[in-house]
A and B are shown apart, each in its own frame.
Chain A
Amino acid sequence: MPYAVKIPIVRKQSWGDYHLFRFQAPEMAAAARPGQFVMIRPGESTAPLLRRPISIHGRDRGALEIFFQVAGEGTALLARRKAGDTFDVLGPLGRGFDLDAPLDGKTACLLGGGRGIAPLYFLALELADRGALVKVLYGGRTADDLPVRDRFEEAGLELACSTDDGSFGFPGLVTGLLETEIPVRRPDFLFVCGPDPMMKAAAGLASRFRIPAQISLESVMGCGFGACWGCVRRIKRAGAEAWRKICEDGPVFPAEDIVWEGWK
């Protein structure tokens, strides 16, 4: 059951526009599953007014971590918080990744673009825990946009990077890196989070190579818990298309259920 708390940030790490907060929230941590998110109030006043959705990046016993990139006013205000400051967190929310399939000995490929890497760290550790062979593909614009790559390596997870400008790792898009990966070691499962064009391209590859893929979508959220109907995306289920709330039915969906037409 989700709930809201005002809690102190116990640790903060920053890399330019990217920030990682750790906070102690034992009940929230116990309930959290990879792919779920929290809603955070950027400030105390009415400007900005709404909470902002941020994925759960990591869990360490009773602590949770978030990792975010400054995208506008709300995240900029959040980034100004220091260790010791309190912030207002509501969660855990959403359904997260479906990990019901047997994973032992299976190869799971995780594809993260930019800030989309956030939920994949928690997921990678959980998959590894369940005996999956995890390979993380992490793409960014430049080498500076891959700040948490060390974390994956320190956790003993296999990682390959790509940059759009070729300054680090594979030169090009992370979906290009995936295309080189598939013939070498075809993954049994794909898990994807990143900008829409990247997720759309990844969904295309998943369908072409018949790899089951789960995609974590984004949308502007008014509430995060199903009350405003503001966060919808076009989703196909049992042959019928509808606007579905991603905060409640997602944010993670099977790639084949997502309707990309007409979406920028």
Chain B
Amino acid sequence: MTVDLAVDLGFLKLRNPVLAASGTFGYGTEFAPFLDLSSLGGIVVKGLYYGPREGNPPPRLVETASGLLNAIGLQGIGVEAFAAEILPELRRRGAEVWVNVCGEDEDEYLRVISFLDGLDGIAAYELNISCPNVRRNGLCPALRPDWTYDLVRAAKERSRRPLVAKLSPNVTDIVEIARAAERAGADGLSLVNTFLAMAVDPETRRPRLGNVFGGLSGPAIKPIALRMVYQAASAVRVPVIGMGGIMSGRDAVEFLIAGARAVEVGTANFVDPAAAARIVREIEAFCREKGIARVSDLVGTITI
């Protein structure tokens, strides 16, 4: 039995529902030794600001119970180096490229989009309105519906490409934010970004991260991520891309059943650099085993 893995996001057709999550897949080229980049539904490259960025002082990573706490601070190369050094290689390798768009303020988000709009070979933008690591207190536009609305709307008006808003889980009511992003014209939503968290060293009585706070990812967050993806997908009509702690095909299937049209694989890429490709195969095997002809038939099939 062959399984049709393709999924239709409305604004874009994906060859399969698995994307590599931003910030956990480098600029994509780092993974070329381990998997065929063109075998994934897409790769969302590391968050891009307009110019290069320094990032936070180390330590930037702490491992917690089945989780990873990071405070990288979006160190990166900026749009010009991305265009010159990275994008051509990704295109040559047949990758479906999404760019995670960042900004210190609305103006910078729009400048990044304008610059990228001038390049060929990008499938969509994921608007990162939810990074908790840039400001000390973890503030980001995705914490408030009005901020979310204003930024998504401005970005959507500027962009010539499909735009997916990446939401933060650090909110009281994810539905309110999801609806604000949809109202502002987002073509889709992706969630969740990392949970604002911290770790303390009892010996030194100091925070373990240089930045004090960091973002928690990995299997530890999966149940909360699933709940939020379910809530968001139930509340909006645009497609939802789910993520948070996906390590296996079965984990991915849980998100699809909860209502996600596609998934992103994050922290798992660090542990197993071929994880995203493996998860595609595992989803296929799951469908075959259950006699499901099209993976899209799984989406939103949860019965309560």
Binding site for B on A (CB under 8 A): 1-4, 41, 46-51, 90, 219-223, 225-233, 242-243, 262
Q: Which residues of B contact A243 (CB under 8 A)?
A: 54-55, 57-58, 75
Known: A2-B33, A233-B58. A223 touches B72 (CB 8 A): no
Q: Which residues of A contact B23 (CB under 8 A)?
A: 228
Q: Which residues of A contact B31 (CB under 8 A)?
A: 227
Q: Which residues of B contact A226 (CB under 8 A)?
A: 26, 30
Q: Do B61 and A46 have beta carbons less than 8 Å apart?
A: no
Known: A50-B68, A243-B75. A228 touches B58 (CB 8 A): no
| Docked CA distance A222–B76 (Å) | 17
Q: Do A222 and B70 have beta carbons less than 8 Å apart?
A: yes
Known: A3-B34, A46-B66. A220 touches B59 (CB 8 A): yes
Partner of B60, one of A1, A2, A230: A230
Partner of B247, one of A2, A46, A219: A46
Q: Do B70 and A227 have beta carbons less than 8 Å apart?
A: no
The stretch that binds A, out of B140-148, B266-274, B286-294, is B266-274
Q: Do B54 and A242 have beta carbons less than 8 Å apart?
A: yes
| Docked CA distance A1–B134 (Å) | 34
B237-255 CB mask vs A (1 if < 8 Å, else 0) is 0000000000100000000
| Docked CA distance A235–B116 (Å) | 31
Q: Which residues of B contact A220 (CB under 8 A)?
A: 58-62
Q: Which residues of B contact A225 (CB under 8 A)?
A: 30, 33, 273
Q: Do A229 and B60 have beta carbons less than 8 Å apart?
A: yes
Q: Do B60 and A227 have beta carbons less than 8 Å apart?
A: no
Partner of A47, one of B57, B66, B72, B267: B66
Known: A2-B33, A242-B54, A243-B55. A222 touches B270 (CB 8 A): yes
Q: Do B58 and A232 have beta carbons less than 8 Å apart?
A: yes
The 3 closest A-B pairs by CB, nearest first: A227-B26, A230-B61, A223-B270
Q: Do B75 and A50 have beta carbons less than 8 Å apart?
A: no
Q: How far is the CB of A213 from chain B (nearest CB, A)?
A: 22
Known: A228-B270, A230-B70, A242-B54. A46 touches B75 (CB 8 A): no
Further 14 A-B residue pairs, CB within 8 A, beyond A46-B218, A222-B68 = A2-B33, A4-B274, A49-B67, A49-B267, A221-B61, A223-B273, A227-B25, A227-B26, A228-B23, A229-B46, A230-B72, A231-B58, A232-B60, A243-B75
Q: Which residues of A contact B67 (CB under 8 A)?
A: 49
Main secondary structure of the interface of B (DSSP, over half): loop
- Please list 20 pairs of residues, one from A and one from B, whose beta carbons are closer than 8 Å in the complex, sorted by A's number: A4-B274, A47-B65, A49-B63, A49-B67, A49-B271, A220-B58, A222-B68, A222-B70, A223-B270, A223-B273, A225-B273, A226-B30, A227-B25, A228-B70, A229-B60, A230-B60, A232-B55, A232-B58, A243-B54, A262-B57
Q: Do B72 and A228 have beta carbons less than 8 Å apart?
A: yes
Interface size on B, residues (CB 8 A): 36
Q: How far is the CB of A34 from chain B (nearest CB, A)?
A: 21
B159 within 8 Å of A by Cβ? no
Binding site for A on B (CB under 8 A): 23-26, 30-31, 33-34, 46, 54-55, 57-63, 65-68, 70, 72, 75-76, 218-219, 247, 267, 269-274
Q: Do A229 and B72 have beta carbons less than 8 Å apart?
A: yes
| Docked CA distance A121–B59 (Å) | 29
Q: Do B33 and A50 have beta carbons less than 8 Å apart?
A: no
Q: Do B61 and A222 have beta carbons less than 8 Å apart?
A: yes
Q: Which residues of B contact A46 (CB under 8 A)?
A: 66, 218-219, 247
Q: How far is the CB of A89 from chain B (nearest CB, A)?
A: 12
Q: B72, B218, B273: which has the most chain A beta carbons within 10 Å?
A: B273
Known: A2-B33, A229-B75, A232-B55. A223 touches B269 (CB 8 A): yes
| Docked CA distance A232–B60 (Å) | 8
Q: Which residues of A contact B24 (CB under 8 A)?
A: 227-228
Q: Do B273 and A4 have beta carbons less than 8 Å apart?
A: yes
Q: B24, B30, B46, B61: which has the most chain A beta carbons within 10 Å?
A: B61
| Docked CA distance A48–B68 (Å) | 10
Q: Which residue of A lies closest to B58 (CB)?
A: A232
| Docked CA distance A41–B60 (Å) | 20
| Docked CA distance A13–B23 (Å) | 39
Q: How far is the CB of B247 from chain A (nearest CB, A)?
A: 7
